Structure 1
Amino acid sequence: MRRGYSPRGHTVGDDGDEDRRRRAAVRRGGDALRPALRLVEGGAEPESPRRTARARERTRQKVAATPVDRQSNTRSVRARQTQRATATKASGPRRRVIKRRLPKIGNPKRRLRLGMTLILLIFAIAGGRLVQLQVTDAAAYAADALGQRLQEEIIPGSRGSILDRNGERLAFSGAARYVYADPELIEDPKKAADKLTPLLGIPTRELADKMKQTKGDGPPSRFEYLARGVDVEIGDKIEKLEIPGVRVAYDERREVPGQDLAANIIGFTGLDGNGLGGMEASYEDILAGRDGERKYEVSASGQEIPGGFHREEKAKPGSDLKLTVDSDLQYQVQRILSDTMAKKNAEFGAAVVMDADTGEVVSMASAPSYDAANPMEYDKSLRGDRATDSVVEPGSIHKAIVVGAALEEGIIDRDSEPVVGPTITKADNTYRDTHPHEKRPMTIGGILAHSSNVGTIDLADKLGPEKLYEYQKKFGLGAGTDVGVAGEAAGIVREPSTWQGSDFGSIPIGLGVAVTPLQMAAGYNAIANDGMYVQPSLVECTISPDGDKDKADAPKSHRVFSKKTARDLQYVLQGPIVVPDGTGTLAKIPGYNVAGKTGTGKLVRDGEYAPGEVASFVGFAPADKPEYTVAVFAYTPGGGGGEVTGTAFRDIMQYTLGHYRVPPSTEKPADIEVYPT
């Protein structure tokens, strides 16, 4: 079949070829009217619309007239595939088809199961953690969180006052301020310290270290003291600085209105308010108050949260301590002692005034002294009490013990006249009297008046070392008096088994024995108290914050001499004052009979004798009816006891008798001669 139309670009020959291909396709079972596909450069040759329509119509009619045969249909499909392959091969080189392997699609059910498992696991972990936080550890976490928000503030417990026997305050706690820091709220410790140093007088580095946040295993500190006992005015200035994390609160500071008045007895406290010396230290448990505490919840800015946690434990004040000391008398005794030291160029001195009946210490002075309100500004050696911590040789004041023991043991009586030689030798040491004389009888009052070494050693030989040692102990030597002042020394009294060589001559006259001024005052007070030793006391009572008084325990007492021996000793001890050339004539007081003894010994320092002399005078008045005992000691470059301390003894005793309105003596002074006529 020929067609009248040829597409553009085709020739008749080309149409012939096309007819042949179409007939071949029909023989293979294909569509004779469908042109074979072929690849041509530039794309497929367009086909005439009219031819295409007629071809589709013939194909439709043929399919409608032909029964359906799957096998022939399959062969027809294969024929067309072959035809297309042949056309492709004829049109040019065959392109290589690269088959790509598509990824395997996962199983959605498996993914769902895995996802569900993960979700359930997450919920289980979260739920378990919630149970732990809200049930198991809820209290601990809540407490920890609260602890981080809590601010602690100390409420100082008022320290008790120290009063004299008349109720005058010797030391008390006055209003002050303390400065503290919350390190958690301080951003720049160095900057804050720079502002505080000029006001507090504390080095910047020290303040900055306190304000740094604590680093360690424990919880961070929210409270650090920066200074205590700060003046109220200084505290107000610090508050005006408004330094974040630095606060000022009420505090107390120890006030001592008398400054050095009775400072050796009162003692002093540290910056934290604790007692460090004297009665402040000895009676710390009674004087110290119990601090209270205030805890409250604060915000991040450090302000208290209204309605938040708040707990306050009230402070408990300490009790007052009422002493037996008379502040008026104490002032005069300190003045007299200081004047004596200045005149005699003494390094230190001590004076004690005791009530003969009760053993109460109404005055106990040390010189030089210090300001108990500012103790750290003074050398440590000035902050003690010379009456209780200085260990000295008693010297000739020890002779009264030997004479009293000889009287008590019946070796002599008040009217005895033993023969006394000019010297006596013990081992390699020869002892002689300061008043030279030949071998002759002397009165007992004369032995004391001239402070005879030879006469005293003779009496000690008759008494024996064991008996002398026994009376030394009864006299209170070698043991602390437990008067209550911190740091009291016990002194040294040697047992007879340790005596050797010249000890048998030295110990009776007060050499080789170590005592404190208070011990000798208490011993002579036993003579004044008719032979009854009464433990010296400084505390009358304690007064609770409620005003209840608790009297101090009754002092211990024991008998040293019989009343008769004591009375005889009171009489013969007037010898040093009434005998014209006696060692204690400077102690005379108009209108009063005075009994006493002078002494000169050595200072024991670090177990060795120090250069210089310790002059002393111990006695009581009125001698016929003793009311008060006075002891005065002074460590000087040299000089006898009467010369150095006689005047001081007289002035102290005279003021004491007048202060307490003691009536003058009604009996005549003792009639004593050194050598019997």
Structure 2
Amino acid sequence: MSVPPRTPDPRRDPSGARRNPPRAGRPADDDGPAPARSGRGGIFEAQAYTPRGRTVREQARTRTPRATPAKPVTPEKPAKPEQPTLRVVDGGRADEPRAPRKAASPARTGATPAARGGTTAGARSGTRGAGPARRTTTTTAPRGDGTGRAPARTPRPRTGTTKGGATAPRPPLRRKPRTRPKLADPNRRLRLGAFLALAMFACIGIRLVTLQVLPTPAYADGGIQDRLRSVTLFASRGGIYDRSGVPLTHSVEARHVYADPEMVENAADAAAKLSPLLGVARSDLEKRMAKRKLAGGIPSTFSWLARGVPIEKAQQVMALNIAGIGIGRDERREIPGADLAANLIGITGEDMTGLEGLEARYDDVLRGTNGKHRFEAGNGELDIPISGGYDEVVPAKPGSSLTLTIDRDLQYEFQRSLSENVLARKGTVGAAIAIDIKTGEVLAQASQPTYNAADWEKYSAVDREDAATSFIVDPGSVHKAIIFGAGLEEGVITPKTVWKIPNTIYKAGEPYSDTHPAGNKKMSMAGALAYSSNVTTIKVADKLGAQRVYDYQLKFGLGKATGEGMPGEAPGHVLPPDEWNGTSPGSIPIGHSVDVTPLQMAAVYATIANDGKWVQPHLIKDTVTGDGRHVAPPAPETRQVISPQHAAELRYLMEAVTTIPDATGVSGRIKGYRVAGKTGTGKRVVDGEYAPGDVASFIGMAPAEAPRYVVAVFAYTPGGGGGDVAGPAFREMMQYTLQHYRVPPSTKSAPKYTAFP
């Protein structure tokens, strides 16, 4: 059987005419039988692979041959050989029968299955049962038959071999439906891209609205920081004034001079030029201008050369035009009175911080708070404030000023008199206090030695101490006023009491004698004070008892700091009864084994002068704030110690000290004024031990009939003889005080006293 050659494209004939495949209801166009398949060999016999992995030819060998009805072929012209084509029909082999196809409805097509080239149920005897015809797979014959049409498809039932050798139709193949992979949907991609773009633009729009409309200080301030300039607005330190408003010390504008060691070319030459202007040693300036490294190896670019330089001096420094030398705004303390009240006022450091005295005690009040001016400025040549730009001013708050109770004129006179009298008797330490008895105001508080506060570095720390509050002494006989006051208050004695007084009294075997012995004669209480009788005082204390003596010491303000206002005020010390020893009843009443300060004893006598009412001594009259308001300090503490009657009786007895001839206090008399007071000779206490020498004291009040002021004078003379210091100094100071405040002289003469009735 001859095999016609295959054309390259089995779907077209050599002439290129389109062949019509057979359709249902009509016969195929081809007249002859379908051409048989070509044999083996050659590229033109390409194999078509099925999903089972076998070629069409391999499957053909295993099948049972089946008859193919011959069809007449009308040759028109010889067919040209065609190129082989690989072809898979419906996923199977080209010659594999297709699955049975459901027969079309006769009503729909108008043709029977036989007319469409299918088989009927009767024609498919020998199969598993009647049913619709299955789809078959046919190969298309080459279109070289001359008709231009493909042969009609002939259904070929699947066959198999049964046990009996008979041929039976094969069961239909059950393939899993193929699913085409879902490729990317362009519409979905378009929608997703549009959504992402819209979301991005929405975020950008919201962010723009946030930045442009809503307040965003963090971003607004970001650029400002590079343009901000800050200038410190200095606050001046408050001043200290006397009671009439005259400045004792105040701040004035000055300049500081500094050096940049990295820019100083010749330190020795610069120091030589600056030393005369700054008043600093040349060698010291050279050290300050020397190059040095800071922590971490960083070179130092700043060093103080001088603080508080007057403006005119600073201008002269700048006129030298020395590289690396500059000036800046500063403040310095100006003290018009030099040493006037210097021991009270104290000193400040270079940074205007109080170091001693009232400057230290009220540093938080005197010190101001610097302000700040922050503004926008340009860069480079445009480094000027930007008009309408950021501008913030935190005003400086000047410090408050202190108005003291000190009278400048009285203070000066007290310092002069104390210094002259102490130095004339070779004394080393002295203190003088004047108190207004009604108000407790300290009108003067002088110390010896003193110093020039404007040049305080030349003086020792001891010279700068305030003796009135730091000078610890055994008061001596001035303490006897407390014992006599307690005796009057407790009814132990009266102004008319007269006792026989021996020359000596013993306590625990220790003798206590009088400097003016009575010889066991009768002595009045006025005479006992006038001659400072130790024996009489001890006898009064014996009648009071240790507890009441201790109680009245505390009531009169001993053993506790007065709270006057000076820093470091010593509290003193008095012994409670359980600490007394065998000699305490003899020593304590006459002012020994009692630690006091001159200010405490001055307050005791102010209590007696003020009708027995103790008023806390104080130095601060008021505080003047930066805006000019006067703020009064808290009211001073007060307490009634003895009754006004007994206080008046005690003043009467104490006036005998300056009235009776040869009394201990005649050196304190003042012409025209009646004076009541008491002298004393005690010891200086240093670190709990008595220092050699004597501490002489005189405390008095005037006018005695209606006291206005109390003056206390203490002087330490290591060589003894202090009694000659206190009396004359008291007289000068009290007389000046009475005249300064225009106190009228006494209109009545002092009473007549009898020491030994």
- Is the shorter-chain TM-score for this pair beyond 0.5, marking a shared fold? yes
Q: What residue number does 2:484 align with?
A: 403
Q: What residue number does 1:174 align with?
A: 252
How far apart in 2 are the matches of 1:539 and 1:321? 7
How far apart in 1 are the matches of 2:447 and 2:382? 52
Q: CA deviation at 1:490?
A: 0.8
SS at match of 2:710: strand
**2:531 alignment partner, one of 450, 466, 485:** 450
Change (3 A) 1:221 1:671: same
Deviations 1:270-324 (A, max 9, x none): 1111111111111111111112345678999999566498765432211111011
How far apart in 2 are the matches of 1:484 and 1:316? 24
Q: How does 1:370-409 map to 2 (within 5 A)?
A: 370-409=451-490
- Tell whether 2:266 aligns with 1:188: no
- What stretches of structure 1 of length at least 5 have no aligned partner? 1-134
How many residues matched? 534
Q: What residue number does 2:420 align with?
A: 339
Q: What residue number does 1:237 align with?
A: 316
Instruction: Check conservation: 2:716, 2:722, Cα contact below 8 A.
Output: no
Deviations 1:430-474 (A, max 9, x none): 011001222122111111001000110011011001100000011
How far apart in 2 are the matches of 1:180 and 1:353? 46
Segment of structure 1 superposing worse, 287-296 or 331-340: 287-296
Q: How does 1:420-499 map to 2 (within 5 A)?
A: 420-499=501-580
More helix as a share of residues? 1
How far apart in 1 are the matches of 2:484 and 2:346? 38
SS at match of 2:431: strand
How far apart in 2 are the matches of 1:474 and 1:170? 35
SS at match of 1:509: coil
Q: How does 1:573-584 map to 2 (within 5 A)?
A: 573-584=654-665
Query: Could you tell me the TM-score, scaled by structure 2's length?
Result: 0.66
SS at match of 2:443: strand
Change (3 A) 1:193 1:235: farther
How far apart in 1 are the matches of 2:246 and 2:426? 33
How far apart in 1 are the matches of 2:313 and 2:395? 26
How far apart in 1 are the matches of 2:722 and 2:617? 24
How far apart in 1 are the matches of 2:448 and 2:654? 28
Instruction: Check conservation: 2:267, 2:286, Cα contact below 8 A.
Output: no
Instruction: Check conservation: 1:174, 1:255, Cα contact below 8 A.
Output: yes
Change (3 A) 1:404 1:306: closer
How far apart in 2 are the matches of 1:206 and 1:495? 58
Q: What residue number does 1:40 align with?
A: none
Q: What residue number does 2:750 align with?
A: 669
Q: What residue number does 2:645 align with?
A: 564
How far apart in 1 are the matches of 2:310 and 2:593? 52
Q: What residue number does 2:243 align with?
A: 165
How far apart in 2 are the matches of 1:542 and 1:382? 28
Q: CA deviation at 1:383?
A: 0.6
Q: What residue number does 1:554 align with?
A: 635
Change (3 A) 1:212 1:596: same
How far apart in 2 are the matches of 1:205 and 1:152? 32
How far apart in 2 are the matches of 1:257 and 1:629? 28
Instruction: Check conservation: 1:359, 1:534, Cα contact below 8 A.
Output: yes
Q: What residue number does 1:285 align with?
A: 364
How far apart in 2 are the matches of 1:145 and 1:370? 53
How far apart in 1 are the matches of 2:384 and 2:292? 25
Change (3 A) 1:221 1:511: same
> Which letter maps to 1:520?
M
Deviations 1:582-618 (A, max 9, x none): 0000111111110000000110012211111000000
Q: How does 1:511-530 map to 2 (within 5 A)?
A: 511-530=592-611
- What stretches of structure 2 of length at least 5 have no aligned partner? 1-210, 212-217
How far apart in 1 are the matches of 2:237 and 2:458? 22
Change (3 A) 1:405 1:301: farther
Segment of structure 1 superposing worse, 166-175 or 220-229: 220-229
Deviations 1:647-677 (A, max 9, x none): 111111011001101111123202211111x
Instruction: Check conservation: 1:190, 1:204, Cα contact below 8 A.
Output: no
- Tell whether 2:682 aligns with 1:601: yes
How far apart in 2 are the matches of 1:639 and 1:448? 22
> Which letter maps to 1:262?
A
SS at match of 1:524: helix
Percent of residue pairs bearing the same amino acid type: 49
How far apart in 1 are the matches of 2:582 and 2:411? 44
- Tell whether 2:338 aligns with 1:259: yes
- Tell whether 2:696 aligns with 1:621: no
Segment of structure 1 superposing worse, 323-332 or 235-244: 235-244
Change (3 A) 1:245 1:529: same
Instruction: Check conservation: 1:602, 1:614, Cα contact below 8 A.
Output: yes
How far apart in 2 are the matches of 1:416 and 1:151? 84
SS at match of 2:692: strand
Deviations 1:188-211 (A, max 9, x none): 3564686255344262465336x8
How far apart in 1 are the matches of 2:693 and 2:268? 52
SS at match of 2:553: helix
Q: What residue number does 2:348 align with?
A: 269
Change (3 A) 1:398 1:145: same
Q: CA deviation at 1:249?
A: 2.4
Deviations 1:598-652 (A, max 9, x none): 0001100122111110000001001100000000000013445543211111111
Q: CA deviation at 1:226?
A: 4.7
- Tell whether 2:659 aligns with 1:659: no
Segment of structure 1 superposing worse, 546-555 or 292-301: 292-301
How far apart in 1 are the matches of 2:722 and 2:649? 24
RMSD over aligned CA atoms reads: 3.0
Q: What residue number does 2:666 align with?
A: 585
Q: What residue number does 1:249 align with?
A: 328
Q: CA deviation at 1:268?
A: 1.2
Change (3 A) 1:187 1:453: closer
How far apart in 1 are the matches of 2:741 and 2:379? 66
Deviations 1:133-189 (A, max 9, x none): xx9xxx89x989968x987654431111111111111111122112346x6xx7435
- Tell whether 2:424 aligns with 1:351: no
> Which letter maps to 2:397?
K
SS at match of 1:436: coil
Q: What residue number does 2:96 align with?
A: none
SS at match of 1:269: coil
Q: How does 1:100-179 map to 2 (within 5 A)?
A: 154-179=232-257
Q: How does 1:14-53 map to 2 (within 5 A)?
A: none
Instruction: Check conservation: 2:378, 2:385, Cα contact below 8 A.
Output: no
Deviations 1:101-148 (A, max 9, x none): xxxxxxxxxxxxxxxxxxxxxxxxxxxxxxxxxx9xxx89x989968x
> Which letter maps to 1:289?
G
Q: What residue number does 2:97 align with?
A: none
